[in-house]
Amino acid sequence: MSSTVLSIVAIVAAYLVGSLSFAVIVSRVMGLNDPRTYGSKNPGATNVLRSGSKPAAVLTLLLDAVKGWLPVMLVRWFGSAYGLEEGTVAAVALAAFLGHLWPVFFRFKGGKGVATAAGVLLGISGWLGLATLATWLIIAVFFRYSSLASLVAAVFAPFFYVLGGGVAWYMDARIGVAIAIMAGLLVWRHKENIGRLMAGKESKIGSGKKKG
């Protein structure tokens, strides 16, 4: 089988893995309401937390991150032996993320992609992922807005990748483009949150009244 065919198979598989909406799956397994029917109606860990089950929210968060991390790592671990290089890594990373946003198994109605993007970045480089997560944490601690922390981390991720290229990790333009696309989509998916932030109506972490 040619490397081109294997690359396509890897990309499709990554999209299908990304399409596993764990917010919905975990909620069903644990006997909780469908997260698409309450709160922000966003199938993500934050909305699952509104069900009152912290274990379900944590499990959703971890699984959403793993489904971004695992496809990237599988290509990194085994791809070179089959001619799959950085271009495939970039495409697989983006495919897993797009699967979360538009999951084929759930009528193409997915979440915002924060956890999955974090998993993807950790797969691309552990240091890149940690730098981005640290940015999220700093903004979240100082300003107490989860959405603002996600937006700032998303915007900084492509810059971190370029700044650390050749120092902390090997930089490839195709991976940089994939990260930039993910960042843009993350910002777009948070457009309602941006509106609430600008209007001063976005709820803070721990307020118990977050809308999205």
pTM, two decimal places: 0.93
Backbone angles phi, psi at 169, to 5 degrees: -160, 160
| pLDDT at res. 105 | 95
In sequence order, the 6+-apart residues with CB closer than 8 A to the CB of 126 are none
Are 51 and 60 within 8 A, CB to CB? no
Using the Cα atoms of residue 163, residue 119, residue 4 and residue 181 in order, give the sign of their dihedral: negative
| pLDDT at res. 204 | 85
| pLDDT at res. 205 | 78
If the chain, 212 residues long, is cut into consecutive pieces of 10 residues, what is the mean pLDDT of each piece?
92 98 95 89 88 92 98 96 94 98 95 96 97 97 94 97 92 97 97 94 70 42
Are 98 and 18 within 8 A, CB to CB? yes
| pLDDT at res. 212 | 43
| pLDDT at res. 39 | 81
Question: CA 101 to CA 113: how far, in whole Å?
Answer: 6
| pLDDT at res. 2 | 87
| pLDDT at res. 207 | 66
| pLDDT at res. 211 | 42
